[in-house]
C-alpha cells in the first residue's frame, strides 16, 4: 500500500474534494520549510501529522465558500488556489493566490470570510481547526508561526490595497508579474520565465480590472518588448528593470 496514494479523481473539474489519511506524509513534504510546520522538530511533526489529512482538488474545484462553517485550515503543498469575495450581484474580487507553502484559513471567525477554489490541480494538507488549536496550546511555536504568517499577509494586503486604489492598469499588470516572479523564487523555482496559471479573468478580478483591460496591458508590454508571451502559460520578464520601473515600488 503506497504511502502517497492520492486517488486521481480530480481531473474531472469541478470535482469534489478528495481526501486521505496518511502515516508519515511530512517527511517527504517539499514545502515544510515555508509552512506552519517549519519550526517543528520531527517529534512535533508526528503530532501535527496525526491531526492532518490530505486533500486533492481538480482545477476549478471549490475548497470552501464564504460564510460556510470554518472547520478546517489548510496548507497548500502543490498547485494554485485562489481566494475571493463576491458582491451580491456577482462582482468578484480575488484577494489572493496561494502557492505551495502558503497557509489558508487563518481568520479566527466562526465562518470563512472568503471563498477558496483551485486554479489548477492542487494538493493541500488539512487540519481541523479545533484540533490545531488544541495542539497550539502545547506547541506555542505554532501560534508564533501563525502570528508571523498573519503579519506577512497583512503587509501584502496593504501593498495590494495600494495597487487596487492607486495604480493604473499598466502598473497593476507589471506589479502582478513581478509578484508572481518573486513568489516563484521564494519557493525555489525560476523567477524569470514565470508561470501564470490563472486566466485573464482571474487576473482581472485580482487587479480590479476587466479581462479585456488585462489582455490589452499584456499586449502592450509585449509589443514594447518588456515581456514575452511564451507557450504553456509562461511569461518571460525580458526587461525586469523596465517592469519594476513601471510597477513603481514593488
Contact residues toward its own copies (CB under 8 A) are 85, 87-89, 91-93, 95, 106-109, 113-114, 140, 143-144, 146-148, 150-155, 157-162, 164-167, 205-208, 248-249
Question: Is the Cβ of residue 23 or residue 138 nearer to its own copies in the bound state?
Answer: 138
Residues 90 and 138: their CA atoms lie apart, in Å, by 43
Q: For DNA, which residue of 93, 184, 210, 236 counts as binding (CB under 7 A)?
A: 210
183-202: contacts with DNA (CB under 7 A): 199-201
State the Cα–Cα distance between residues 4 and 6, nearest whole angstrom.
Answer: 6
Contacts of 211 (CB under 8 A, 6+ apart): 199, 200, 201, 204
First to last CA, the chain: 48
Q: Which does 200 bind (CB under 5 to 8 A by kind): its own copies, DNA, none?
A: DNA
Among 212, 224, 225, 245, binds DNA (CB under 7 A): 212
Q: What is the nearest approach in angstroms of its own copies to the Cβ of residue 164? A: 4
CA angle 205, 217, 90 (to 5 degrees): 20
Give the one entry of its own copies, DNA, none that residue 147 binds, where binding means its C-beta sits below a cut-off of 5 to 8 angstroms depending on kind. Answer: its own copies
**Under the criterion CB under 7 A, does residue 224 sit at the interface with DNA?**
no
214 binds, among its own copies, DNA, none (CB under 5 to 8 A by kind): DNA
The binder of 111, among DNA, its own copies, none, by C-beta within 5 to 8 A per type, is none
SS (H, E, C) 18-85: EEECCCCCHHHCCCHHHCCCCCCCHHHHHHHHHCCEEEEECCCCEEECCCCECCEEEEEEECCEEEEE
* Cβ pair 121, 57 in contact under 8 A: yes
- Which residue, 13 or 150, is less far from its own copies as judged by CB? 150
Q: Select from 43, 109, 137, 232 the one that contacts DNA (CB under 7 A).
A: 232
Give the residue from 139, 140, 148, 65 showing the smallest Cα distance to 103.
148
State in angstroms the smallest separation of the CB of 207 from DNA: 8
Grid coordinates belonging to 125:
494538507
Question: Shortest approach of its own copies to residue 89 CB, angstroms?
Answer: 7
Residue 156 binds DNA, judged by CB under 7 A: no
Residues that bind DNA (CB under 7 A): 168-170, 199-201, 208-216, 218-219, 229, 231-232
Amino acid at each position: 500500500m503506497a504511502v502517497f496514494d492520492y486517488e486521481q479523481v480530480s481531473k474531472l473539474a469541478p470535482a469534489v474534494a478528495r481526501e486521505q489519511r496518511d502515516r508519515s506524509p511530512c517527511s517527504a513534504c517539499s514545502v515544510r520549510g515555508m509552512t506552519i510546520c517549519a519550526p517543528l522538530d520531527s517529534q512535533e511533526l508526528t503530532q501535527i501529522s496525526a491531526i492532518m489529512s490530505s486533500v486533492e482538488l481538480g482545477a476549478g474545484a471549490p475548497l470552501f465558500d464564504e460564510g460556510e462553517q470554518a472547520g478546517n485550515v489548510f496548507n497548500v503543498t502543490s498547485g494554485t488556489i485562489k481566494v475571493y469575495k463576491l458582491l451580491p450581484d456577482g462582482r468578484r474580487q480575488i484577494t489572493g493566490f496561494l502557492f505551495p507553502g502558503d497557509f489558508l484559513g487563518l481568520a479566527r471567525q466562526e465562518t470563512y470570510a472568503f471563498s477558496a477554489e483551485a486554479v489548477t490541480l492542487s494538493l493541500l494538507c488539512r487540519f481541523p481547526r479545533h484540533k490545531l488549536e488544541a495542539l497550539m496550546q502545547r506547541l506555542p511555536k505554532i501560534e508564533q508561526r501563525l502570528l508571523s504568517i498573519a503579519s506577512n499577509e497583512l503587509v501584502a494586503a496593504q501593498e495590494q490595497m495600494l495597487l487596487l486604489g492607486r495604480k493604473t492598469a499598466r502598473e497593476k499588470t507589471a506589479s502582478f508579474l513581478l509578484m508572481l516572479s518573486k513568489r516563484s523564487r521564494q519557493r525555489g523555482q525560476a523567477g524569470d520565465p514565470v508561470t501564470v496559471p490563472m486566466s485573464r479573468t482571474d487576473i482581472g478580478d485580482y487587479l480590479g480590472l476587466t479581462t479585456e483591460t488585462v489582455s490589452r496591458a499584456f499586449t502592450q508590454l509585449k509589443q514594447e518588448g518588456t515581456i514575452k508571451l511564451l507557450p504553456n502559460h509562461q511569461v518571460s520578464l525580458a526587461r525586469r528593470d523596465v517592469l519594476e520601473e513601471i510597477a513603481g515600488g514593488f
